[in-house]
């Protein structure tokens, strides 16, 4: 069965609320966030808002989930694959973050304040990056795989994107190019057998 008109209307209303909430959070932060103001900004009643989201926490989680959905729809990704395509994939996801505007800014604020949608996600991405390093360099130890995975995760993370684009004023496309280049340098070093770990003295 195809999508009905009512289904489309509900989706539009839901996304209007999410966008209004993201705009409010990006502009004013979380401390004084008013659901009434969000409803007014979205052009719906407070009761309608509560029909979609019965708490602030549910609204915050929905914004984070919507950001993930937009990332995929805009050509990004949510989990790293192998090291060979990592620079291009990181570049793509950073470009989608830039395209999301206040939605992404809201996600960063929500994550920093409440930890919603972040802890398990961070662990999963670090594990995936460590596994990619391990596949490229099986001669390194598991601890060394993890260390490089943590480094790659740190420099490609949402807070770094925020600092570059929002705090330091770097255009989002340029920031995506910079992080892609940085990851490419690290990838090439790893794949060519170069690493920062001390070697045991040969007998």
pLDDT at res. 79: 58
Separation CA 98–CA 106 (nearest Å): 13
Separation CA 127–CA 145 (nearest Å): 9
Report CA 192 to chain centroid distance, whole Å: 29
Q: What are 41-69's pLDDT values in tens digits?
A: 999 999 999 999 999 999 999 999 999 88
Contact (CB, 8 A) for 23 and 109: no
When pLDDT is averaged across residues 23-32 and rounded to a whole number, the result is 92
Domain boundaries of the chain, sorted by first residue: 5-191
Q: What are 87-118's pLDDT values in tens digits?
A: 999 999 999 999 999 999 999 888 888 765 56
202 φ, ψ (degrees, to nearest 5) = -75, 145
Q: What are 161-180's pLDDT values in tens digits?
A: 989 998 899 999 999 999 99
DSSP 138: T
Separation CA 118–CA 110 (nearest Å): 10
Name the residue with higher pLDDT: 20 or 115: 20
CATH tag, 5-191 = 1.10.357.10
Question: Per the structure block, which two tokens stand in for 188?
Answer: 């090439």
Q: Is the pTM of this model over 0.85?
A: no
Contact (CB, 8 A) for 132 and 86: yes
Separation CA 180–CA 155 (nearest Å): 10
């Amino acid at each position: 069965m195809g999508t009905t008109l009512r289904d489309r209307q509900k989706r539009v209303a839901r996304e209007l609320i999410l966008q209004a909430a993201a705009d409010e959070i990006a502009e004013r932060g979380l401390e004084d966030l008013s659901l009434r103001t969000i409803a007014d900004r979205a052009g719906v009643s407070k009761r309608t808002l509560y029909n979609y989201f019965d708490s602030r926490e549910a609204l915050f989680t929905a914004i984070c989930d919507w950001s993930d959905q937009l990332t995929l729809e805009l050509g990004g990704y949510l989990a790293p694959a192998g090291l060979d395509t990592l620079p291009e994939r990181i570049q793509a996801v950073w470009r989608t973050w830039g395209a999301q505007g206040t939605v992404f800014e809201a996600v960063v604020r929500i994550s920093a304040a409440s930890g919603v949608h972040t802890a398990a996600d961070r662990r999963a991405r670090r594990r995936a990056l460590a596994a990619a390093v391990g596949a490229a360099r099986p001669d390194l130890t598991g601890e060394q795989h993890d260390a490089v995975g943590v480094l790659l995760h740190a420099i490609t993370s949402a807070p770094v994107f925020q600092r570059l684009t929002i705090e330091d004023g770097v255009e989002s496309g340029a920031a995506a190019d910079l992080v892609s280049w940085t990851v490419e340098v690290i990838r090439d070093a790893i794949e060519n057998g170069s690493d920062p770990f001390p070697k045991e003295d040969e007998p």
